Amino acid sequence: MARQAKHFDRRFTLSLLHHRYWGTWFVILILFIFGIMPAWLRDPISRLLAKLVMSIAKKPINIARINMRTCFPDKPEAEIDALIKDNVDMFVLTLMSQAELLLRSNEHIKSRVTIEGFEHVEAARQAGQPMIFIMPHVWPIDYAGIRLNIELPMVTMAKAHRNGLFNWFSNRLRSSQNGRVYMREAGIRALISELRQDNSFFYLPDEDLGPEQSVFAPLLGTVKATLPVVGRLAQAGKAQVLPVKIGYDKQARQFNLTVMQAVDPEDMQGKDNEAIALNKMVEQVINAYPEQYMWFLKFLKTRPDGESKLY
């Protein structure tokens, strides 16, 4: 029997009203209130809340500091401190505004997220090819995904949350433009099948998935274990690989999304070359908007033999 691809069920069920979720419902209500709030009012409030996060999120901030020191070994400590503050500001601002992707109209979302380089998407569409968008873990990644999903059919893949209600909420948001959100257990077969049906998707190349099948390649001031699978996905799905970056303009109160030129397939021939190419894309995104990156992740957990653990 053929394996059934697994994707998240976006339907509401009565089990989500269980009393164990009442606290989560309160948090979602707060997010809804902020989601309908205008950005000129929400952004200053978010910056005030970020000060509270700075005072209590000691462990995540320590992980971020380790990552920044490793990736930017020549950066002075004062600059690291400033980057951490800006990063926490962006985390809170993005979190508190995220519900607008579910509550507000497509016209509002378009006004909030500008797109540059869309001609690269159009070129792929004219060639009859789907796209694999390469974007590392950045705070506004859902803004990028939803904005592109307004323009073309897309799917994505996500890790399930332990909290069933938050799991429903986040994946309901991500599928708000009729895209599907697959569980990781679905594997690459599901993604290849979607590509062959002309559905594009985001691939996040910066997650540390352990030493098995990973290749170490340079990343900023260090090296990182990278899984070279995009080349095979693109070849099997006859897709173009396009790097994407996004950053928030605090003055204009807009997210600026940029789709870059498709990667030459020759640059991704062989596992080592592909790992190098993927990490160069990650570098490009981080250097463009370093305050937007999810520095709290343990993306450098796997280290080369003989090198001490970072965390």
What residue spans define the domains of the chain? 14-292
User: 14 pLDDT exceeds 80?
Assistant: yes
Q: What is the pLDDT of residue 179?
A: 78
Q: Which two tokens stand for residue 47?
A: 């910056």
Percent of the chain with pLDDT over 70: 97
User: 186 pLDDT exceeds 80?
Assistant: no
User: 2 pLDDT exceeds 90?
Assistant: no
Higher pLDDT, 6 or 52: 52
pLDDT digits (tens, 9 = 90+) for 107-144: 999 999 999 999 999 999 999 999 999 999 999 999 99
Percent of the chain with pLDDT over 90: 68
Q: What is the CB neighbour count within 10 angstroms for residue 214?
A: 18
Asked whether the whole model's pTM tops 0.85, one would answer yes
CA distance 223 to 156: 27
Q: Which two tokens stand for residue 260?
A: 């870059």
CA distance 145 to 200: 10
Q: What is the pLDDT of residue 296?
A: 96
Averaged over 223-227, what is the pLDDT?
94
Q: Which two tokens stand for residue 209?
A: 């998935």
Strand ranges (E), 152-302: 154-158, 180-183, 200-203, 215-219, 222-226, 240-249, 254-259
CB of 172 closer than 8 Å to CB of 126: no
Q: What angle do CA 181, 159, 178 make, to 5 degrees?
A: 10
